[in-house]
Structure 1
Amino acid sequence: MIQSMTGFGKAFMQLPNKKITVEIKSLNSKGLDLNVRTPSIYREMELQIRNTVAQRLERGKIDFSLYVEVTGEETSSKINVSIIKGYINQMREVIPDANETELMKMAIRMPDVLKTEREELDKTEWIRIENVIQEALDNIASFRSDEGLSLEKEFELRISNIEKLMTKAVSFDSERVETVKTRLRSALEELKTNVDENRFEQELIFYLEKYDITEEKVRLGNHLNYFLETMKKKEALGRKLGFITQEIGREVNTMGSKSNHTEMQKLVVQMKDELEKIKEQVLNVL
């Protein structure tokens, strides 16, 4: 089953004094391009986050963000009372007549008045955060699956269109053979020379074999069926589908170079157009 590399997942959790939110965004990429943003307190868990996300999402340009919103009264920044008192005592020596309010206003503007206490990671809290991360990963996986269903329908439509165009192109085959025969006979008549009919038929068969598209038709049909079969498999399919489209393109191009028929060449151009639409969307497949 196809999954898209494009997706978005979000989950949050309310703790007693803060709200934890996890957002994961994903776009298409040749490999895994993972960017992780977390508050400093959770920085030591970044490697674990990377491993978890990589294991679940496999490929894509992925932005992982963990946000913390303080909702309680506690704060990691504290007023350094002893520093403020020290500043006031020093300024009282310099400005003996200043009142306490003025000294306080000046003191709170001085360096190191606020001290930030480094929080330690709470292991119990982190276990709960891991659950939020998994929930966000579940949400983005669901988003990718839904996008994959849309891609699958698009591929089925384009493959069906190519099959119809191929069938229509092959229907011109007998007309094409007669056109070649007529063209060759007209050329010989213009030369006004006698022709050995047996030799003419032999040369005509050799000439037509160079323009025979039977093998291309068979191989193209096999590649189209293989594309549809591969879509139904469970593993990551993007690269494999990309390789199959290359083989489809090779057969379509060969058919075009051999066609030697205006209407058939028009159909080949339409087949190429359908194939390009497939190639564009295959880049989004996981």
Structure 2
Amino acid sequence: MESMTGYAFLEKNTEQFSFSIELKSLNSKYLECFINLPRILRNEENEIDGILKKRFGRGKLELNIEVYDWFSTKPVNLNRDLLRKYYRELQALSRELKTQQEVSLDRLLVLEGVVMREKSTLSARSRTDLYQGLNKVIDTAVKMRKKEGAGTGKDIQASLGAIKANAAKIKALSGGVSKALYLKLKSKIEALAASGVDEHRLYTEVAILADKQDINEELVRLGEHLVRFRQIMVSGGQMGKQLDFLCQEIFREVNTIASKSNSSEISHLVVDTKTQIDKIREQCRNVV
């Protein structure tokens, strides 16, 4: 069992720059990937997206990669022809205006087009370091999700145990309720029979009423649902949606038991059982 909640952060250096990777994993009905990359890594987005979708089955993933502190100097080109042209024009303007101000080189270098920097490119070594860091972050987040999922699994197992125990108590109590109902109906039948009521018709009505009060089928199905629930939990893979659906089926059986029973003791057990089901459903919403 794996939770959808996880977090990991890493900082690392390459031969070109330093970078940080932050990965957050949150609850979601589906797998959603939100990737924020610096300009130099934009071409890597599709591959990174593919890696995330391969490693995660469900959840909202937020990945942020930042690049800073460049170590290697970017190549610089000097447009000498343009620089000379600027210089001649400024010298001519200085003579025309009859100023004594010298045209300094530092002022010429900041003029548009004089200094040209080549675009930064990602080296093969830096790319390898980046993806190694990404995989390490993913491993950490997955480990956290599995650890939290294991804790969630223990809590769910405890709730399933409580539901099973309540079902056993309800079954034991239902036997006493059925017997009490039988004696009550028998007394009424005998009284009505003495007054000349058609016995065949009377017994038919009693059988229908007794069937409406019987909760044995619901208890059997409830037990089957609990067994299936545990089987899914140990099956591996994505199970959150299956477990949530099975919770609805369990809740339906418990509701039917509540509607059929007239016992206050059974009603109290039903309330506790519904509380346990709500706990499980809440936890299943965070399960992959």
| TM value normalised by structure 1 | 0.83
Assess if the C-alpha contact under 8 Å between 1:84 and 1:107 holds in 2: no
Superposed displacement of residue 41, structure 1: 1.2
Stretch of structure 1 that moved more, 235-244 or 171-180 = 171-180
Q: Structure 1: which 5+ residue stretches go unaligned?
A: none
Which residues in structure 2 correspond to 1:237-276 (within 5 Å)? 237-276=239-278
Call closer, same or farther: CA 1:205–1:113 in 2, change over 3 Å: farther
Call closer, same or farther: CA 1:78–1:271 in 2, change over 3 Å: farther
1:245-281 deviation per Cα after TM superposition (whole angstroms, max 9, x unaligned): 2221221122122223333223212211211111111
Aligned length: 284
Alignment partners' CA distance in 1, 2:35 and 2:3? 21
Stretch of structure 1 that moved more, 235-244 or 149-158 = 235-244
Which amino acid in 1 is paired with 2:282?
E
Assess if the C-alpha contact under 8 Å between 2:90 and 2:103 holds in 1: no
Identity of aligned residues (%): 29
Tell me the secondary structure at the aligned position of residue 209 of structure 2: helix
Which amino acid in 2 is paired with 1:86?
Y
The answer for the alignment partner of 2:281 in structure 1 is 279
Alignment partners' CA distance in 1, 2:233 and 2:52? 24
Larger radius of gyration: 2
Alignment partners' CA distance in 2, 1:215 and 1:264? 16
Which amino acid in 1 is paired with 2:123?
D
Which residues in structure 2 correspond to 1:112-131 (within 5 Å)? 117-131=118-132
Which residues in structure 2 correspond to 1:127-276 (within 5 Å)? 127-181=128-182, 184=185, 185=187, 193=195, 200-276=202-278
Alignment partners' CA distance in 1, 2:84 and 2:59? 52
1:122-158 deviation per Cα after TM superposition (whole angstroms, max 9, x unaligned): 2332122111111111111101110111110110011
Stretch of structure 1 that moved more, 168-177 or 149-158 = 168-177
Call closer, same or farther: CA 1:112–1:263 in 2, change over 3 Å: farther
Alignment partners' CA distance in 1, 2:94 and 2:189? 116
Q: Structure 2: which 5+ residue stretches go unaligned?
A: none
Aligned-residue Cα RMSD (Å) equals 3.5
Which amino acid in 1 is paired with 2:261?
S
Tell me the secondary structure at the aligned position of residue 9 of structure 2: strand
Assess if the C-alpha contact under 8 Å between 1:84 and 1:113 holds in 2: no
1:177-224 deviation per Cα after TM superposition (whole angstroms, max 9, x unaligned): 24534665569969x945577765553333111121111111111111
Superposed displacement of residue 111, structure 1: 6.0
Which amino acid in 2 is paired with 1:65?
N
The answer for the alignment partner of 1:45 in structure 2 is 44
Assess if the C-alpha contact under 8 Å between 2:19 and 2:67 holds in 1: yes
Call closer, same or farther: CA 1:19–1:267 in 2, change over 3 Å: same
Alignment partners' CA distance in 1, 2:58 and 2:100? 66
Call closer, same or farther: CA 1:123–1:208 in 2, change over 3 Å: same
Assess if the C-alpha contact under 8 Å between 1:92 and 1:103 holds in 2: no
Alignment partners' CA distance in 2, 1:233 and 1:94? 88
